[in-house]
Structure 1
């Protein structure tokens, strides 16, 4: 049995469509835990009325993604969960999503499995995790390294976000939960996957288990797409900033081998500070 953990906040329509997609799964071998962090748009009321099978946890509104997810995971473990999946409400799982996850779960019961993200509008594959190589101080998108004819089955990676990530609960016993103190919003999931890899767990992207995503709807993408000095600042320092310099620095000093620490940190800082400006100058 997989327990799906999803934090939500004031996105009632997204949450409804997401839960409707899960209700149409070909496999029913899962339970859903929604952590509503103080929504004021009727999200909780909608869930209670239309999806009574969902375990709804109501919080006060002072959490971000990482701690809200931790709360859901801890409840799942208290209920006896052996596997949890972190999944966002701005996704639409394919009807056979759980079925395809279970297929590889049976064959790799100790591994962490990520879902292949495809664009909701075009159906094109967008993201399949990353491969971070400390030796050359770069992180590569795994999708770029797999030809289209081989985009099936599982492929090993070492970084994956919380968007469709299946995790054995033994991992939490070994390495702890998401680091909500240092990474309340972004990078908590990346830090977690690297810690799991460093401990010895294998991580794969399951190309057979697909979710549709609304690529342009994330807070980080909006900051990138709507260029302004205010958004540039938020991009580098804000809670939803995909290039948050403080969190990136903590991530590197927590996880990088000492011999590669400074080089990886320096290159990453240059890309984060300069990348936004370069795109802006090019009119992107």
Structure 2
């Protein structure tokens, strides 16, 4: 597996949170130090940070390529920005890693993910499973359609459908067939869409055999569904990348499910913004 020289691109996008970014990069560099005969080029889009992210990272990690965003890219479009630059780097990469800057990986994680990819002839996507340092429960990784809870790793490669983008390996075989993330999606949904697009192209998506790191669950109710937020502000948040943009949700559901499901969701989410209490009743039915 590791005898021939291989090259990988590592993709990040960040906005502030310099301490998280620093720790994430330190952990990543430690993990790749266990992998001989491989190089890792890191491409980081700094999307308008105001906490000196660019200056700190360029000083402490001089080998990282730092790209400047316009402050309006958010996660998915920021990742696409990093990916496009990596593709123009005149290196025929063997694969691409996605890494979130709030995800802290274990020293053996990259080696294990590459080993799992090799088991699948480097023709499948591997998504890393994360757990909470507070309670040890699974926080991110992936799940099957229709499930609310993410799958727990069980020592084997389990197929998943809805994939989280905290730490993901996309081998060259996959990239050559489905390309990069779709920048139709601004912030969220892009990772789910990528995994489902892969499956439609007969590419399998797997959860890592074991936990690859620590990432706390930061899922929270969007302001658009918060009864304590004034209705005008709820709708303002609703149509932003950090809300639950109904148009992007419509595109996603129409693409991967049915136009009926997409239309139903479009109507229901608007009702939830108008009457947030309906959301709890709907989810508990």
Q: How would you bin the TM-score normalised by the shorter chain?
A: 0.7 to 0.9
Count of aligned residue pairs for this structure pair: 265
Aligned to 2:155: 152
Could you tell me how far 1:214 is from its partner in structure 2? 2.7
Which consecutive segments of 4 or more residues in structure 1 shift more than 6 A?
none
> Aligned partners of 2:180 and 2:67: how far apart in 1?
18
> Aligned partners of 1:208 and 1:227: how far apart in 2?
39
Aligned to 1:202: 204
- Match of residue 52, structure 2, among 25, 42, 50: 42
Could you tell me how far 1:40 is from its partner in structure 2? 2.2
Cα separation, partners in 2 of 1:143 and 1:69, compared to 1, 3 Å: closer
| 1:216-247 per-position Cα deviation (integer Å, ceiling 9, x unaligned) | 3x6x5564997533575466433112x43221
RMSD, aligned α-carbons:
3.0
Could you tell me how far 1:263 is from its partner in structure 2? 4.0
> Aligned partners of 2:222 and 2:65: how far apart in 1?
31
Aligned to 2:180: 177
- Match of residue 112, structure 1, among 117, 122, 125: 125
Could you tell me how far 1:88 is from its partner in structure 2? 0.9
| 1:103-147 per-position Cα deviation (integer Å, ceiling 9, x unaligned) | 101111100010102113222222331222xxxxxx214645x6x
Cα separation, partners in 2 of 1:130 and 1:44, compared to 1, 3 Å: same
Aligned to 1:127: 140
Which runs of 5 or more residues in structure 1 are unaligned?
A: 133-138
Q: TM-score, normalised by structure 2?
A: 0.80
Could you tell me how far 1:170 is from its partner in structure 2? 3.5
Q: Secondary structure at the match of 2:62?
A: coil
- The 8 Å contact of residues 225 and 272 in structure 2, kept in 1 or not, is answered as no
| 1:19-38 per-position Cα deviation (integer Å, ceiling 9, x unaligned) | 12112215244332211122
Cα separation, partners in 2 of 1:20 and 1:131, compared to 1, 3 Å: same
- Match of residue 81, structure 1, among 86, 93, 96: 93
Could you tell me how far 1:92 is from its partner in structure 2? 0.7
> Aligned partners of 1:105 and 1:111: how far apart in 2?
7
Aligned to 2:260: 262
> Aligned partners of 1:72 and 1:20: how far apart in 2?
19
Could you tell me how far 1:171 is from its partner in structure 2? 2.8
Cα separation, partners in 2 of 1:225 and 1:45, compared to 1, 3 Å: farther
Aligned to 1:3: 9
Aligned to 1:252: 253
Aligned to 2:147: 140
- The 8 Å contact of residues 77 and 185 in structure 2, kept in 1 or not, is answered as no
Q: Secondary structure at the match of 1:262?
A: helix
Task: Give 1 or 2: higher helix fraction.
Answer: 1
> Aligned partners of 1:15 and 1:280: how far apart in 2?
35
Aligned to 1:215: 217
> Aligned partners of 2:188 and 2:137: how far apart in 1?
24
> Aligned partners of 1:174 and 1:20: how far apart in 2?
32
- The 8 Å contact of residues 5 and 32 in structure 1, kept in 2 or not, is answered as yes
> Aligned partners of 1:110 and 1:100: how far apart in 2?
16
